[in-house]
Amino acid sequence: MSIASVLLLVGLAVLATMAMALARGLLGPTVYDRILAVNMFGTKTVLLIALLAARSGRSDYLDIALLYALINFIGVIAVLKYFEYGSLGHPHAEEGDEG
């Protein structure tokens, strides 16, 4: 089995996983389903970019994959903070003078 066919198979598997994460994001009864779906979708995008980098031999794509991983993390942190505290500010911002 050649490298190219392995990459193709893995790419198809990643695309199928993206489809399933997308379905969960669209249907997801609770908000946590949606948050997890978006997080997983971002992770699969990172994997897809890494696959593209391996396939085209462009290692600078891996930097972009790293950036996506970081951004995905920040977005999820912001959303979870919103659900924990009801706002994006400091949890005790209302008691202080300036938020």
Partner 1 sequence: MDSLIDVVLFAFLIVVALAVARGRDLFAGAMLFGMFSLLSAGLFLIMDAADVAFTEAAVGAGVSTVLLVAALSLIGTEERARRRSNFLPLAIVVVTGASLIWGTFDLPPFGDPANPPNHHVVPRYLEKSGEEIGIPNVVASVLASYRGFDTFGEVVVIFAAGVGVMLLLGGRKRHRQRKERGL
Which residue intervals of 3-89 are DSSP H helices? 3-27, 31-56, 61-85
**CB of 31 or CB of 90, closer to partner 1:** 31
95 to 22, 86, 89: CA distances (angstroms):
40, 15, 12
User: What whole-number distance in Å separates Cα of residue 12 and Cα of residue 61?
Assistant: 19
Q: Does 66 bind partner 1 (CB under 8 A)?
A: no
50 contributes a contact to partner 1 by CB under 8 A: no
Which two structure tokens, joined as six digits, stand for 95?
């008691």
Asked if 84 touches partner 1 (CB under 8 A), the answer is no
Q: Which CB sits closer to partner 1, 1 or 60?
A: 60
Cα separation, 69 vs 65, whole angstroms: 6
Note the residues at the interface with partner 1 (CB under 8 A): 7-8, 11, 15, 18-19, 22, 25-26, 28, 31, 34-35, 37-38, 41-42, 45, 48-49, 52, 55, 60-61, 64, 67-68, 71-72, 74-75, 78-79, 82, 86-88, 97, 99
